């Protein structure tokens, strides 16, 4: 493996930008020749009304590649690569990447290695990528570009380097971690976590105006009339954000929107008193007042009364949580490294009777069955049905 001094941004060759169907076909052909490929994505959630994947980075030993989804008609040629079970896709913190790749393109991941989760299994402190690159390779990525608008074109040259670094070192980091995982007897455990991540990707859809209304900070503190006013403002803001293609909070923030609903301003001067900036008053003042004093519609009903699980289920879940906390503390890792919450709820609702039953629980494979199975069965057997 290369020595630490070799890992510097000065040795990076510029990445190849993939903007045509022919270039994409050539890239897919190259990727399919490798057993491991580093992958990352960049989206524009901080800058668009409907976020989308704006860049997909790939690194293999002989080069780095940046695929531009905004320049390509479709990314369908990448589907077989992502689905391939014999090509390990190496991500850092794959959870969100897998969600957006599935949402935007329908991609599924056939084989995964996650360097963040590997670091967590190993109990390494500060498992963020910037920290790991600094710790193992002496690198200092420019954090300024964590909030970059990846929907901009052309891309800033320094942003391109930042995106390239997100994958360029992942294969070397993965090799370090594999060695450490195998030395510590944790490799199989990590593989089970990776399999869980890639096979339990949540369905992602863009939220509706009804659901986003109840996410406004402070909405539950309002009375009925104020909620009605806020809903009218909310619908106006969603419409304006869609027109401007920016996140709703970048039109008017939640705190100011709630204050408008409480004060019900009658004029542009009162809008200023309610906290709107001069630019917001000039740009949106008239339409805000029209929306606020329109007939409108009542806000959607919000169901806060979720069915409470039976006491026996809650007791089993709490028992499993306490056990998991003790195991994690002994290991020096966080609790969800031992088992995810979804697994605990599954076990609490459907208590296994045998070790084989445990394999039906999401997140439990042969390694966890062997190491945690007897404890889990014993704990659940001691709980009332």
pLDDT tens sequence across 274-322: 999 999 999 999 999 999 999 888 898 876 656 789 999 999 999 999 9
Which of 168, 199, 230 is the C-terminal boundary of a domain? 199
pLDDT at residue number 208:
87
**Per the domain annotation, does 112 fall within a domain?**
yes
Residue 44 pLDDT: 96
Verify that 50 and 140 share a domain, yes or no: yes
94 pLDDT more than 80? yes
Sorted by sequence, the CB contacts under 8 Å of residue 146 that are 6+ apart come out as: none
**Total Cβ atoms within 10 A of residue 280:** 17
Q: Are residues 319 and 284 in the same domain?
A: no
Q: Determine the pLDDT at residue 2.
A: 37
Contact between 338 and 327 under an 8 Å Cβ cutoff? The reply is yes
Output helix, strand, coil percentages for the chain, rounded to the nearest 5. 55, 10, 35
Q: Is the pLDDT of residue 164 over 60?
A: yes
Same domain, 26 and 147: yes
Q: Who's near 32: CB < 8 A, 6+ residues apart?
A: 80, 81, 84, 87
In-domain check, residue 353: yes
192 shares its domain with 101: yes
Mean pLDDT, rounded, for 263-268:
95
Q: What are phi and psi of 179, to 5 degrees?
A: -60, -45
Note if the pTM is more than 0.85: yes
Q: What is the pLDDT of residues 41-51, one digit of tens each?
A: 999 999 999 99
Number of domains the chain is built from: 3
127/153 same-domain check = yes
Question: Cα separations (Å) of 111 from 83, 224, 342?
Answer: 8, 51, 22
- Of 234, 201, 235, 232, nearest to 217 (Cα)? 234
In a domain, 301, yes or no: no
- Residue 305 has what pLDDT? 54
With 60 as the cut, is the pLDDT of residue 147 above it?
yes
In-domain check, residue 297 = no
What's the pLDDT band for 1 if we cut at 50, 70, 90?
A: very low
239: containing domain: 215-292
Per-residue pLDDT for 10 more than 70? Answer: no
**Predicted pLDDT of residue 112:** 98
Based on the fold, state whether residues 102 and 46 are members of the same structural domain.
Answer: yes
For residue 302, tell me if it sits in a domain: no
385, pLDDT greater than 70: no
Question: Among residues of the chain, what percentage have pLDDT more than 70?
Answer: 95
In a domain, 298, yes or no: no
pLDDT band at 381 (very low <50, low <70, confident <90, very high): confident
pLDDT at 168: 97
- Given this model, what pLDDT does residue 4 score? 36
Question: With bands split at pLDDT 50, 70 and 90, how would you rate the model's confidence at 170?
Answer: very high
Asked if 30 contacts 14 with a C-beta cutoff of 8 angstroms, the reply is no
Claim to verify: residue 220 and residue 195 sit in the same structural domain: no
Mean pLDDT of the region 88-104: 97
Looking at residue 204, its pLDDT comes to 76
The CATH number of whichever domain residue 62 belongs to comes to 3.30.420.10
* pLDDT on residue 3: 38
Any idea which of 124-138, 231-245, 295-309 has the lowest mean pLDDT? 295-309
Is residue 55 included in any domain, yes or no? Answer: yes
32 and 132 part of one domain: yes
- Lowest-confidence range among 168-172, 217-221, 252-256, 307-311? 307-311
Q: Is the torsion defined by CA of 141, 145, 151, 155 positive or negative?
A: negative
Where does a domain end: 292, 320, 341?
Answer: 292
Question: How does residue 207 score in pLDDT terms, banded at 50, 70 and 90?
Answer: confident
Q: What is the pLDDT of residue 35?
A: 98
Counted residue by residue, the chain has a size of 385
Average pLDDT over residues 341-369: 96
Q: Which of 152, 171, 199 is the last residue of a domain?
A: 199
């Amino acid at each position: 493996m290369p020595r630490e001094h070799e890992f510097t941004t000065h040795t990076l060759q510029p990445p190849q930008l993939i903007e045509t169907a022919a270039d994409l076909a050539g890239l897919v052909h190259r990727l399919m020749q490798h057993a491991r490929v580093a992958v990352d994505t960049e989206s524009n959630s901080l800058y668009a009304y409907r976020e989308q994947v704006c860049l997909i980075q790939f690194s293999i030993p002989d080069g780095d590649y940046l695929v531009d989804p905004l320049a390509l008609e479709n990314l369908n040629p990448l589907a077989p690569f992502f689905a391939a079970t014999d090509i390990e896709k190496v991500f850092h913190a794959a959870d969100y990447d897998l969600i957006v790749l599935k949402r935007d393109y329908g991609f599924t991941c056939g084989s995964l290695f996650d360097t963040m989760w590997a670091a967590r299994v190993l109990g390494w402190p500060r498992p963020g990528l910037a920290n790991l690159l600094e710790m193992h390779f002496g690198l200092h990525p420019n954090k300024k570009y964590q909030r970059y608008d990846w929907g901009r074109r052309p891309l800033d040259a320094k942003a391109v380097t930042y995106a390239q670094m997100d994958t360029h070192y992942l294969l070397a980091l993965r090799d370090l971690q594999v060695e450490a995982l195998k030395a510590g007897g944790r490799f199989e455990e990590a593989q089970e976590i990776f399999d869980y991540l890639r096979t339990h990707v949540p369905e992602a859809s863009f939220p509706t105006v009804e659901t986003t209304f109840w996410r406004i900070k402070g909405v539950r503190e309002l009375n009925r009339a104020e909620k009605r006013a806020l809903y009218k403002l909310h619908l106006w803001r969603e419409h304006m954000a869609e027109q401007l293609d920016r996140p709703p909070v970048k039109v008017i923030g939640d705190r100011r929107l709630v204050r408008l609903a409480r004060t019900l301003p009658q004029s542009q001067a009162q809008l200023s008193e309610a906290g709107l900036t001069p630019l917001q008053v000039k740009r949106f003042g008239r339409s805000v007042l029209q929306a606020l004093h329109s007939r409108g519609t009542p806000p959607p009903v919000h169901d806060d009364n979720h069915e409470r699980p039976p006491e026996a289920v809650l007791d089993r879940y709490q028992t499993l949580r306490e056990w998991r906390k003790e195991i994690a503390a002994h290991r020096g890792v966080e609790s969800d490294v031992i088992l995810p919450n979804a697994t605990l709820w599954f076990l609490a609702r459907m208590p296994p009777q045998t070790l084989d039953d445990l394999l039906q629980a999401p997140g439990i494979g042969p390694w966890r069955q062997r190491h945690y199975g007897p404890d889990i069965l014993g704990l659940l057997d001691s709980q009332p049905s």
